[in-house]
Chain A
Amino acid sequence: MTNSTHHEPPAPILQARGISKRFGGALALADVDLEVRPGEIHAVVGENGAGKSTLMRILAGIITPDSGSIRVGGDELEGGPRAAIDAGIALVHQELSLVPEMTVAENILLGAPPTTAGFIRSRQLKSIAREALDEIGVTVDLDEPIARLSVSLRQFVEIARAVARKPRVLILDEPTATLTPAETDYLLAMLQRLASKGMAVIYISHRIPEVFAICEAVTILRDGHLVERTEIASTTPSAVIDAMVGRELQLDLQVRRTANPGDVVISARGIKAPNVNDVDLDVRAGEIVGLGGLVGAGRTELVRAIVGADPRTAGTVTMTVDGRRTVIGSFQSAVRAGIGYVPEERRVDGLALTMSVSDNVALPNRAELSRASVLRPKAISAFVRRLADVVGLRPPAITRDVGEYSGGNQQKVVIAKWLGRKPDFIVLDEPTLGVDVGAKAEIHRLVRELADNGAAVLVVSSDLPELLELSDVIHVVRDGRIMGTLAQSEADEKTVMSLASGETLVGA
């Protein structure tokens, strides 16, 4: 831990001390300190789930910490978003929170438009909005509805909205995720300009080169703990990544399989889709291919485009099983061809929560479980019982609504849906997100068994140990492209993180 008392003036504008936060029983932040000086661009870095966004939401008063204090300009900050805004903290959200139907000017002053007796003073509204846009040097028609702007322009409008409040501390959470390199350069220059006028900027990014380009200091979080706070001048990109990844590699190498890949089952060529840029990908029978990368890198979009869950703008996917070649178009054709898909958001895309376990598992298998389109209840019951046993559903009450089960059990139900089809190719997107340890181990076992039985398996995971333990080969995705491919023997947390964050230490 660092103690920052040796920092010379100017006095910090923001001082957060001993911030802790639990969600349910889970520790999200443990005794974290953050200190930012006026005119400083301060990076907060860490892996997915390190607690960065939670910390920022606490600073912005959106969530209340369990303990700890926040001082802005020396004054204790009271709770709630209003108090944070009044104290001069402005958060630019990771997800865009603009109203698409309203104009640029209306969005910039959303929530606090200038009024007289309840009527919006539109001339003043526009002049304030104009001023905020000038401040960040962006030209855009104030009367244009947000819906007509590009995603990156919307990002800048979002920033203008924060700047319009004339904040003392501006927080940006992954602002460059949706920007092109040129736009990113512009944004970084803009932040430096704002900082030079005395604004403190907290900059959250996975992209280490950006951090080293503009920040003066960096706070590194890992698993909800503060690892280190250091001046950029006195560290190196490699040291920062080390600190982010931190833990000694304790991979359970015994569980690693000796892969024995067969023929190529899935061959994706020139795949393009929103946030996916011209990807080629092969998966062989009996092989587990891992897709690593940061959240927002385009991995989910890529796998959805491959299985036809979302439309592709270009590219072809062919599947070859026992010499029979099928072109995969729609998702229905993918399922018919023997593809299984365990989606990232199981409660949205994976399960009908108000239906029973039995119904959910039977749904993709309904043709096999019926005769002349009439369902066979006994066959369904036997089928689902067997699969509930295979995946280890607890309790195995298959007539209960899926929504009543815990996350781990729900995920087992999603996997059971597809296991029943004996898929030749299965995609699992974040298969153990929000799942307890026991279920996680069981899900890993199921994934390995699928591959051992000859299925081609594609796993997306932001959980690095999981990715490293499961995968026979790892493709690291960034900006919708495969930036590098690592064999099991050469993959470790650092090589994956380096490729994922753009700090390219290794090529492939």
Chain B
Amino acid sequence: MSRESETLTETIAVASRPEAGIEKKRFSLLLWMADRGVIVFTVLLILAAVIFIDGFATLPNLTDVFYRAAPIGIVAVGMTFVVISANYLDLSVVAQVATSAVIFIGISNEFGVFAAVAVASLVAMLYGIVNGLAVGFFKANAVIVTLSTTFIGLGILRWLSGGSIFFGPEDGPIRAFGQARFGPIPLSALVLLLVTIILWFVLTRTTFGFAVRAYGSNKSATRLAGVNTTAVVVGAFVITALSAMVAGFVLAAFSNTAVSSMSDGYEFRALAAIIIGGTSVFGGKGSVLRTLLGVIFVSVLTNILVLSGIGFGFQQMAIGALIVLAVSVDALARRAAKK
């Protein structure tokens, strides 16, 4: 009896693992699609728009695209943290953006911009901590929790604001911030770029971002590497909330008004950008740069539909269909990668 085959475990090992090596993946096209598809599609879409759509490649139109993309983009880039941490999404961004906008205009009118920013920051922290603790500490389902905090948040907002529209002064700093532009590029688009760069750094270069990615890849293994997982989840929701707050400022400054219904649909548009960008809803894989690309794709697509005279109903349908497509490719790619 040889040493080599003394136990079954060894026999299995000898037979099935002749040499330690790396297994080759199949389904490479599918995996490539899930990984890099968005880059190609975005480029193709922009090219198509330039060539075929009248009025797309004009300065006023591009400026308009940037204006509309900025607040949704800022929300999406922040919410990428929640998606990567494998907690699906934060639906309550819709309430957070509106609350931030109303505070920004409403409190500025009474007490000045700094007071408004301070109050908005506190509210954003509260959102992040409540969502984060419910999901990260009590292990409640993120979709249900944030759906509920949306209700709570919008309820409080409508109760306190009475559902009224707030207008900023015509010559105030908010108005100036909203109108500022560098050539065709509005300041708000630069804010989006800045937030993206900061959050890219946080996600890829800090121990916190590292823990978020690891947690999204495998919660149990991350806990059993000594990571404080509650802090990771709370952190992801706080970053989302702070981003939503900034988005609220940008959105309010754009029109110099604020109302509780102004961000309706943001949660879904942000999710669309994240998923189309290629961040996996299973967690662990993704980046804020991908989300930025997804924002560009969704914004350009929406703009093309508007310019083509296609109604809002069809736009909604198109984005919904795209998400179904993107999550299906994501799920298929995940299965293929496991093979």
Contacts and interface: CB of A to CB of B under 8 A. Distances in A.
A363 B13 contact: no
A359 interface: yes
Given A343-B224, A373-B206, A375-B206, A355 B217 contact: yes
A162 B221 CA distance: 37
27 contacts: A25-B12, A25-B15, A26-B8, A27-B15, A247-B1, A247-B6, A252-B3, A336-B226, A348-B218, A351-B218, A352-B217, A352-B284, A355-B214, A359-B210, A366-B210, A373-B207, A373-B208, A394-B21, A404-B25, A405-B22, A406-B17, A408-B20, A436-B13, A437-B10, A437-B14, A439-B20, A463-B7
Given A355-B284, A374-B206, A435-B13, A417 B225 contact: yes
Contacts of A403: 337-338
A434 B14 CA distance: 10
Contact of B4 (A49, A363, A437, A465): A437
A407 B17 contact: yes
A2 B305 CA distance: 79
B22 A26 contact: no
A375 B206 CA distance: 5
Contacts of A4: none
Interface of A: 22-28, 49-51, 223-224, 247-248, 250, 252, 309, 331-332, 334-336, 341, 343, 348-355, 359, 362-364, 366-367, 370, 373-375, 394-395, 397, 400, 403-409, 417, 432-440, 463, 465
Contacts of A400: 22
Given A363-B210, A437-B14, A28 B8 contact: yes
Contacts of B23: 404, 406
Contact of A223 (B8, B14, B207, B214): B8
B224 A26 contact: no
A465 B6 contact: yes
Contacts of B217: 352-355
**Which of B10, B14, B211 has the largest number of chain A CB atoms within 10 A?**
B10
B131 to A, nearest CB: 23
Nearest to A332: B226
B21 A395 contact: yes
Contacts of A362: 210
B328 interface: no
Nearest to A367: B207
A404 B337 CA distance: 9
A49 B228 CA distance: 37
B58 interface: no
B284 A354 contact: yes
Nearest to A222: B8
A354 B330 CA distance: 14
A137 to B, nearest CB: 38
Contact of B10 (A331, A335, A375, A440): A440
B298 to A, nearest CB: 25
Interface string B204-230: 011110110110011011111111100
Contacts of A436: 13-14, 17, 20
A250 B3 contact: yes
Contacts of A438: 20
Given A352-B217, A375-B207, 12 more contacts: A23-B16, A26-B12, A26-B13, A332-B227, A351-B221, A354-B218, A366-B210, A374-B206, A394-B21, A433-B9, A438-B20, A439-B13
Interface in B237-277: none
Given A355-B217, A355-B284, A432 B228 contact: no
B207 A355 contact: no
A401 B142 CA distance: 28
B15 A24 contact: yes
Contacts of B15: 22, 24-27
B175 interface: no
B175 to A, nearest CB: 38
**Which of A370, A406, A434 has the largest number of chain B CB atoms within 10 A?**
A406
A375 B12 contact: no
B8 A49 contact: yes
A363 B214 contact: yes
Nearest to A359: B214
A169 B143 CA distance: 48
A310 B131 CA distance: 25
Contact of A437 (B13, B22, B214): B13
User: Closest 6 CB pairs between A and B?
Assistant: A335-B226, A25-B15, A26-B12, A352-B217, A436-B13, A24-B16
Contacts of B17: 406-408, 436
A50 B8 contact: yes
A274 B289 CA distance: 46
Contacts of A407: 13, 17
A341 B220 CA distance: 13
A363 B227 contact: yes
B221 A51 contact: no
A341 B225 CA distance: 8
**Which of B6, B8, B225 has the largest number of chain A CB atoms within 10 A?**
B225
A392 B6 CA distance: 24
A394 B20 contact: yes
B226 A364 contact: yes
B68 interface: no
A407 B206 CA distance: 30
Contacts of A348: 218, 220-221
Contacts of B8: 26-28, 49-51, 223-224
A404 B226 CA distance: 24
Nearest to A464: B7
A463 B11 CA distance: 13
B324 to A, nearest CB: 23
A55 to B, nearest CB: 13
Contact of B222 (A51, A252, A363, A439): A363
Given A27-B15, A463-B9, A332 B210 contact: no
Contacts of A354: 217-218, 284-285, 337
Contacts of A437: 4, 10, 13-14
